[in-house]
Homo-oligomer: A and B are copies of this chain.
Amino acid sequence: MAYFESKRVAGRHFLQIPGPSTVPDRILRAIDNPTMDHRGPDFGLLGKQVLAKIQTIFKTAQPVVIFPASGTGAWEAALCNTLSPGDRVLMCETGWFAHLWQEMAGRLGIVTDLVKTDWRRGADVEQIAERLAADRAHAIKAVAVVHNETSTGATSRIAEVRRAIDDAKHPALLLVDTISGLASVDYRHDEWGVDVTVSGSQKGLMLPPGLSFNAVSQKALKASEGAKLPRSFWDWKPMIAANATGYFPYTPATNLLYGLDTACDMLLEEGLDNVFARHERHAEATRRAVRHWGMEVQCQDPRHYSPVLTCVRLPEGHSANALRATILERFNMSLGNGLGQLNDRAFRIGHLGDFGDLQLMGTLSGVEMGLRAAGVPHSPGGAQAALDYLSGNA
């Protein structure tokens, strides 16, 4: 029996969590090719090709290291390649994932200064600027920001963070997690002067989980020479050396690299700008549905609205988890749960990856039917409001 059909419900499952996103057939078929010799000549061709393609997705001419590991590992790689025990990092707690990254840093022996938010917007650039300005001694070794906060649906403005660092003439490295942002919302590793960009395979890249990335600036590379945190699996140096000829220092996740190669093709065939516009449009349609239902979008700053997912707050006294369970059972759709302080208070709608207008309408219709089925008070017609918006802009 297929794993995704433990009970028989007709129609393909709607996987509308904010990642993993639905893996398109074309990528599943690529992954389904026989595993090849990762030391043979054909692999070198594949390796070089895929390493070049992924640079275009990160908009960088600098190395992108690919780990055969899921995204959390690439967080660790960003930290342990650039920092030493006791180093101080300025982090912005935009939500649950920023919180987890901070927790990880702590476990690795890094001291973290926290810029708090109310979890309803992106990184607070002004506070970052203030903290950096105050840090005359340059004790802060890095600023770490989550680009697209998957727990709240807020997208931080990385170029502004860069400017704040530059304006403060602060030498701190800029570390950015765009695990759920890459290939869904514009991202520019080089232009924005990011030192380490962290990402993963299972969101905008439309792959199953199992690959993660560090795009690395020259400044970060230089920092890695003096960084004292122990590292081996995550070490950039042998990776970048082996990548020069298309190979990897230890066994890569070969079949996912087939998929990555195809994923890059699909994104470039559609055109990255078209991909981003599509996500923006779907996010706006979703917010219109949410407001029509009479509910609140978790993100309150329109400049930070995420094109990738929308986090929806439920009216007081109603359980978001019960709603999600109803929708899963009756309408065969998975939605994201509320994380941390949002647990049971909010749910998240992923509208990312290989996703078109009709998928969005199915999704929003499912939410609306679920609200009714679960007895959550709402104003009917949200799906239609989204449809009206999509039609006017189609």
CA distance A100 to B388 in the complex (A): 41
CB-based contact A36/B10 at 8 Å: no
CA distance A67 to B76 in the complex (A): 14
CA distance A15 to B330 in the complex (A): 23
CB-based contact B210/A72 at 8 Å: no
Query: B-facing mask of A319-359, CB < 8 A → 1, else 0?
Result: 00000000010111110110000000000000000111111
CA distance A13 to B21 in the complex (A): 16
CA distance A32 to B2 in the complex (A): 10
Judge if A37 is at the interface, Cβ distance under 8 Å: yes
Residues of B within 8 A of A7 (CB): 269
Residues of B within 8 A of A36 (CB): 3-4, 13, 15, 334
CB-based contact A232/B391 at 8 Å: no
A3 in contact with B107 given A12-B24, A358-B363 (CB within 8 Å): no
Judge if A153 is at the interface, Cβ distance under 8 Å: no
CA distance A149 to B177 in the complex (A): 38
A residues 270-288 with Cβ under 8 Å of B? 270, 275, 278
CB-based contact B361/A357 at 8 Å: no
Judge if A52 is at the interface, Cβ distance under 8 Å: no
CB-based contact B12/A202 at 8 Å: no
CA distance A394 to B368 in the complex (A): 12
Judge if A256 is at the interface, Cβ distance under 8 Å: yes
Judge if A377 is at the interface, Cβ distance under 8 Å: no
CB-based contact B23/A35 at 8 Å: yes
A residues 1-59 with Cβ under 8 Å of B? 2-15, 17, 20, 22-26, 28-42, 45-46
Partner of A29, one of B24, B33, B275: B33
Interface window among A185-193, A216-224, A245-253, A295-303 = A245-253
Instruction: Give the nearest-CB partner of A363 in chain B.
Output: B358
CB-based contact A17/B37 at 8 Å: yes
Judge if A132 is at the interface, Cβ distance under 8 Å: no
Residues of B within 8 A of A39 (CB): 17, 336-337
Of the listed residues A5, A9, A210, A334, the one surrounded by the most CB atoms of chain B closer than 10 A to its CB is: A210
| A295 smallest CB distance to B (angstroms) | 17
CA distance A40 to B73 in the complex (A): 22
Protomer copies? 4
| A380 smallest CB distance to B (angstroms) | 7
CB-based contact A73/B369 at 8 Å: no
Instruction: Give the nearest-CB partner of A228 in chain B.
Output: B109
Instruction: Give the nearest-CB partner of A37 in chain B.
Output: B334
Instruction: Give the nearest-CB partner of A28 in chain B.
Output: B32
CA distance A29 to B27 in the complex (A): 11
CB-based contact A10/B251 at 8 Å: no
CB-based contact A230/B20 at 8 Å: no
Which are the 4 A-B pairs with shortest beta-carbon distances?
A11-B356, A361-B365, A362-B362, A358-B362
**A2-B33, A9-B270 given; 20 more Cβ-contact pairs under 8 Å:** A2-B25, A10-B356, A11-B355, A20-B38, A20-B254, A28-B34, A29-B29, A39-B337, A40-B328, A68-B73, A70-B252, A85-B230, A107-B232, A210-B255, A333-B358, A357-B369, A358-B365, A358-B366, A373-B394, A384-B387
22 examples of A-B residue contacts, CB within 8 angstroms: A2-B29, A4-B25, A4-B34, A9-B356, A10-B354, A12-B354, A12-B359, A20-B37, A35-B202, A37-B334, A68-B209, A72-B233, A73-B73, A104-B232, A107-B231, A230-B230, A331-B358, A357-B365, A361-B361, A365-B383, A380-B388, A381-B384
